[in-house]
Structure formats: structure tokens, C-alpha cells
Amino acid sequence: MIIDQFAEGPLMQGLYWDRWYNNDSIITKNSVLYENYLLGSPRMRQLKVRNDSCEVHKDFQRAIFSCYNFYAQPYEDRQTSSGGGGNAKNDTSFEWREIKSFAKNDVWGILGTYSGEGGYIVDLTLNKTIALAKIRDLKKNLWIDRGTRAIFIDFTTYNPNINLYVVTKLIAEFPATGGLITSWQFRTLNLLENSSDAPIALYVCFTLFILFIAYYIIEELVEIKTLGVWPYFRSSGWNFLDIFTIIISVLLVFFLFYRKYVINKIFDEAYTTGGDSNTGGGAGDEGSADSLQNSSSLALQIETYQFDTLGFWSAQFSNILAVLSFVAWVKLFKYISFNKTMSQLSSTLSRCAKDIAGFGVMFFIVFFAFAQLGYLLFGTQVKDYSSFGKAVFTLLRLILGDFDFQALEAANRVLGPIFFLSYIFFVFFVLMNMFLAIINDTYAEVKAEIGVDGEDFAVMDYFKSISNQLLTKLGAQKEQIEGIQQAIKGAGLDGAKNVSFAAVRQKLKERDLSDQEIEMLFSKYDLDQNRELDEQELRAMFADLEGKKNEIEKEMADNENKRPESARSVHRFGGGPDMSKLTKRVDRMEYTLSVISSKIDSVLGGKVLLAAKTADVNTRLDEEDLEDSEPKRWTNN
């Protein structure tokens, strides 16, 4: 049997490296590829189904007495067997055993999902001779039988050179149709954060990450409380992404702490159970990953490490981290609408969203129709169409140019080419070009609206506004200093060498300075505290004021030079893109007003004409009434 040949040959040779290439014995035992160490002994686990897991058709029940279904947990066989050889009554390898460990998780295979609660377990030990004898004994007693549906070979290696663990799971699935399907899982774990040599920067960054999450949670909650739930989400689509980012970040922190908890739990179990059974309890003193890394001999004595759950949660942590990184990159679109191209792109996508949604409905109707057609036509002969899901992905790959036309033609020489050509025509040439046309037309409309002198950089506008505010503020400070200088000079116009506080206060009050500001300014230069400023003190005050004035003028000049040309032109001359856009809007408004005015004139002219006609008709009616009344009057007379 293939699985027996693999277990006796490549598996033993790969797990137990006991000799160098020159056939000398290796002093360091339990190494793989000379540099990796086995952590505990490798383990084989088998899952079976019962004989009554399915029902034989009534027409064959007299001839066929056994039926083994595909694997499902309700059909799992947990009975103790004696083996086909009849010599395994006392062998625990033929007993279903529960995995008494924290590390329990289901296994995803190619054919299905398998339980991780337990099974028929064989620990191969760390001795190659004993392990090979166990394999041959299992083969002799028919450990694998017709009910076998999956065999898992688990082992973990540690490389001290790079401080990495590799959790390996080799999977052999036995379908109910017969045969053998193999797969594998390799999960590399970096447990650096559990080592005393872990860099402090790692913990600092993680602490900052948690603080940022807490800050943004509070910020979003305050915003939701201020605006309300529905107005908050309706105000901007980016708010959905912000909430999603916070949720993913919280999950990431949870996975990180839970992963650390799983690591400590697994190593505690390994040192408690494995250490006590193999080293007389001496291994149970230090239940941590640090002691494992610092004592390779102790690690090799532990019976079995259960790293499945650790590998699973590490994979989930990596998945969450990947999603968070993706969302963070997507959020950059919110902040990079600073040039015309990005603004056009975002406007195009937002404007054509409804058209793309409508097109998507039509596209997926046609696409799923072809997927169902391919599954029904070629599902029994072509692997890529063996299920509806595989057919969907196969057709998606076909759009990208990845297809196997020979397989379709071999399955059906007539329908295969027809299916291929019709799919290419309707989906690739028609629907895909419609999709591109929707985006292209919308982009042309957006580009025409923005125009050559359209909206400038949004971020640059922000910085221009800040620059203008800064210049305005500096200008106000300059004017204030000049006002103080003029006020001090005005206070000393009487020719006196000394200037009193009352005179200074009166002049500065005219400059809208508060009493506190006047007092602080006067006290700074009134060194002798006589409530007067002498000639020397006045000279020092004017020197300081002139120096501050020069500093402000220099800073204003520097800021003016640093500003973009568009900002300077707008500030000085009132031109630039904004003025051009405003001019265009005024022109459109004038044209609209002229059209409205002409329509109003036509309406008013129509009303005047109608009034004239009405007056003419009334005049005629009056004349006719008058003529009718004249004969009646003569008759009465």
C-alpha cells in the first residue's frame, strides 16, 4: 500500500537523520536536515467511519454486506478493534482516544473537514528503530482498513539558528470512491515576542497601537453621539471604513493576546505531561517558551507537542493583520485627493457606481449561467468543472487568459469548442467592453467638467489657507508693534525725557490694548519701578520692538517665498484657477439670466397682446348691445 511504503521509507528517512553524508553517526540526535530539531515525537492519527454509515441498495443487499460512507462526524467510528491480524488486543493504537489537550481544532482537507477531538493515535517516539518497528507492526495488524478516511502525521521542528518553529501536518485522505489523496500544511511560527531577547521597540509599538485604537474609538463614539447613528453613517461613506478599521484593530489585539495565552497554555501542558512522563518531573519546573528555547535537550525529551491550535491562531492573526493593512492602504484614497488625477478617479468611481451595480446584475446572470452550463456539461470529465464553485473560478481565470481548451475539447469535441467560443464572445467581447465603456464615458464627463483649470489640489488649498492665516496673523502683530511704537512716541511729544505710565496707558488704550497688556509691557522696561520710562529704558523698548518687527517681516517674507505660485497670484492679483473658475460660473449665470429674461419678456408680451385682444372683444360686445337696445327704445315710444 502506498501509505505503508511512504511511512516505512521517506517518512522515516525524513524524520530521523542519524548519519552524515559520509555515513558517520550524528552526535546530536533528533535532527531534521541537520539544523532542525524535533520537538517531541511525531504522531499519527487515524479517523474512520462505521460500517453502517451508509445503506446498500436493496437490489444488492444479498451480495454486498458492508458500506462505508464519506467522512462526517456523525458517521465516525470510535470502537476499539483488534486489528486484522488479531494480535493487537492490548495495543492502544487500535483504541479511539480523545486528545486530552488544550490544542484541539478541526482539520481542513481537500475532501472535507475532519474532527480534531481524537482518533486512533500512534506516537512514533524519537528513536528511529522503535518507530520503524511500530510502523511495521501496524501494517501487520491492518491498522488501516476499509473504514479509514483520513490519516494525519503531525510533528513540529525548531530551528535555533533563526528561532522559528515549523508546524507540519501531512494529510492522507481516503475517499469513499477508493484511492488516496494527499495534502499538507506547513505553518511557520515566530515566537520572538515570548523571548527575553525581544526588542523593546516591539512592545513600545504595540502599546502605541493600543493607545491609538483607544483614542479613535473614543473619537468615533463622540462623533456618533454628537451627530446620531444614522446621520453619522449618511454623512460620509468613509465612516463605514473607519468603523470597520476599528473593529479589525480590536480583533487584532484580541488575537494577539489569545495567541500568547495559547502559547503559554501549550508549553505548560507539554512540560507538565511530557516532562513528568519522560524526565521524572524535572521538566515541569519551567513552563514557558523561554526555557524551551534555552534548553534544547529538555525540549527533545518532551513526549509530544500539540501545536495545531497555535498554528491555527497564528494563521488567523496573520489574516487579520493582512486585512487591516489592506484597509489602511485603501484609506489613503481619502487623503490623496490632492491632485487632479486622483480627484478625477474618485469622482468617476462614485458617479458610475449605480451604472456598474446595474451592469453587475446583468453580468453575473450571464456569468453564473455559463458556470452552471460548464458544470453540467463537463463536471464528470474535467476537474476544473467538477463542482459549481470550481466552474465559477475556472471561468474567472478564463477572463484573465488562463484556460485549458484541450481539456474541454477532449471532454466533448462539439460542445466544448461551442461553450468556449460563446463564453469568449458574450462575456469577454460584449460584457467586459460594456463595463469599460461605462467607466470610460463617466471619466470623460468628469474630465470635461473639471476642465483644464479645474479644481486644484485639495491638500494644497488647505495649506494655502493655513499660509494665508499665518500671514494675516503676522501682519496683525506687525501693525500692533508699529502702533505701540507710535503710541510711545506720542506719549513723549511734550519734550520730556521721561514718559509716565499714565501717558503711555492713555496712548496704548487708543490702540485697543488691555490694561493687563499695558501693565506687562510697562513693567518689562520700567527697571527702577518708578512708574516712568527714562531715556535709556525707552531706547531699550524701541530696540526690542524694532527687533521683533524685523523678525516678523523676515518670517512673512520667508512664508511668501515658500507659498506656491498659484497661492501668491491669487493673494496679490486675484487671478489663478479659482478666478478662472469663478469667471466661468459668472458667464454661465449671465447666460442663464439672459435666457430667463427673454422668456419673461415673451410671456409679458403675450399677456399684453392678450389684454389688447380682450379689450377689443369687449368693445365690440358693448357696441352690439347698444345696437340691440336702440330698436327696443323706438318701439316703446
- Binding-site members are 526, 528, 532, 537
Pairwise CA distance, residues 125 & 425, whole Å = 61
C-alpha closest to that of 182 among 171, 191, 190:
171
Mode of pairing for the β-strands spanning 532-533 and 43-48: unpaired
First-to-final CA distance of the chain: 143
Kindly tell me the burial class for residue 134, based on how many C-beta atoms sit within 10 Å of its own C-beta (0-12, 13-18, 19 or more).
buried
Q: Are 149 and 32 in contact (CB under 8 A)?
A: no
User: Which three three-digit cell numbers place residue 520?
Assistant: 506687562
C-alpha closest to that of 420 among 409, 435, 433:
409
Kindly tell me the burial class for residue 336, based on how many C-beta atoms sit within 10 Å of its own C-beta (0-12, 13-18, 19 or more).
middle
Residue set of the binding site for Ca(2+): 526, 528, 532, 537
Pairwise CA distance, residues 194 & 293, whole Å = 10
- What DSSP assignment string belongs to 349-390? HHHTHHHHHHHHHHHHHHHHHHHHHHHHHHTTT-GGGSSHHH
Amino acid at 145: D
DSSP-derived 3-state class of residue 463? helix
Pairwise CA distance, residues 30 & 38, whole Å = 6
Reported as type and span, the H/E element at residue 601 is helix 576-636
DSSP-derived 3-state class of residue 382? coil
Question: Angle of helix 576-636 relative to helix 565-573, nearest 10 degrees?
Answer: 50
Amino acid at 9: G
Pairwise CA distance, residues 234 & 250, whole Å = 24
User: In sequence order, what are the residues at sequence separation of 6 or more whose Cβ sits closer than 8 angstroms to the Cβ of residue 137?
Assistant: 88, 91
User: Which three three-digit cell numbers place residue 547?
Assistant: 527687533
Q: Which CA distances in Å does 386 have to 172, 232, 305, 312, 380?
A: 21, 47, 38, 29, 6
Instruction: Give the single-character DSSP code of 387.
Output: S
Q: Are 96 and 80 in contact (CB under 8 A)?
A: yes
